[in-house]
Chain A
Amino acid sequence: EIVMTQSPATLSVSPGERATLSCRASQSVSSNLAWYQQKPGQAPRLLIYGASTRATGIPARFSGSGSGTEFTLTISSLQSEDFAVYYCQQYNNWPLFGGGTKVEIK
């Protein structure tokens, strides 16, 4: 059974700084990896699929990389609206989400 592990659990970042979030799979998921952003009281929003393809309407400051078991979501310059919880999800098998990383204001 695949396990998805996100780190860190919480990331404190100042506006304008770069944020790097990690997602690790316990076995290879190829490039079948998506990233979502969730704000309080809202549904998740698709950011990235195929490990590195931005979804429609997603700003270029969001980028994804990796394949196999190691993946990264980078937010190049954090804006106020980017403070949220981020989840990775593998879909190489039954969909499975990581535990999430909360990006908070430093």
Chain B
Amino acid sequence: QVQLVQSGAEVKKPGASVKVSCKASGYTFTSYGISWVRQAPGQGLEWMGWISAYNGNTNYAQKLQGRVTMTTDTSTSTAYMELRSLRSDDTAVYYCASSYSGSYDYFDYWGQGTLVTVSS
């Protein structure tokens, strides 16, 4: 069965960077894209961006342009999301999610989430 398994919780200071991983199994990794979605405590869902596992093409949410980088390692079927210059309002649970058709798509499988806490 399809599984997306994310790395563990992180605590970072303001201004630092965080890199979250998402290891896929149960399907051909390069057939899907991976989006990253975050959820601040008690808040709704915010799409951060998408990466094609096939060719590495990316689309990032405008508000995060310049601070976020998404990559993949096809040899290990793992996607990564790095967020730089962290602020307190970046505190959130970060999810990876698979999508078949591209950056304009729904998300059929989700990782378990990674809590990133930004605090001095």
Which positions in A face B, CB cutoff 8 Å?
32, 34, 36, 43-46, 49, 55, 87, 89, 91-100
A14 to chain B, nearest CB (A): 26
Contact B112 A95 (CB under 8 A): no
SS of B interface (majority): loop
Q: Contact at A55–B104, with CB atoms within 8 Å?
A: no
Q: What is the CA–CA distance of A91 and B111 in the complex, to the nearest angstrom?
A: 20
Task: Let me know if A43 and B95 touch, CB within 8 A.
Answer: yes
B106 touches A43 (CB 8 A): no
A49-B45 in contact given A43-B113, A94-B61 (Cβ < 8 Å): no
- Give Cα distance in the complex from A100 to B44, angstroms: 7
In the complex with contacts A43-B95, A44-B110, A91-B104 CB distance below 8 A: yes
Q: How many A-B residue pairs have CB under 8 A?
A: 56
Given known contacts A92-B104, A93-B104, A43 and B110 CB-to-CB distance under 8 angstroms:
yes
Question: Which of under 10, 10 to 19, 20 to 34, or 35 or more describes the interface residues of B?
Answer: 20 to 34
At the interface, is chain A mostly helix, strand, loop or mixed? Answer: loop
Contact pattern, B 48-82, Cβ under 8 Å of A = 1, otherwise 0: 00000000000101000000000000000000000
Residue pair A94, B47 in contact (C-beta under 8 Å)? yes
By beta carbon, the residue of chain B nearest A34 is B106
Q: A92 vs B103: C-alpha distance in the bound complex, in angstroms?
A: 10
B35 at the interface (CB under 8 A from A): yes
Q: Are the CB atoms of A94 and B59 closer together than 8 Å? A: yes
Residue B32, interface by CB 8 Å:
no
Given A87-B45, A100-B44, do A95 and B104 touch, yes or no (CB 8 Å)?
Answer: yes
How many Å lie between the Cα of A36 and that of B95 in the bound state?
14
A-B contacts, 27 of them at CB < 8 A, read: A32-B104, A34-B106, A36-B107, A43-B110, A44-B95, A44-B107, A45-B110, A46-B106, A46-B109, A49-B106, A49-B108, A55-B108, A87-B44, A89-B45, A89-B107, A93-B104, A94-B47, A94-B59, A94-B103, A94-B104, A95-B47, A95-B104, A95-B107, A96-B47, A97-B44, A98-B44, A100-B45
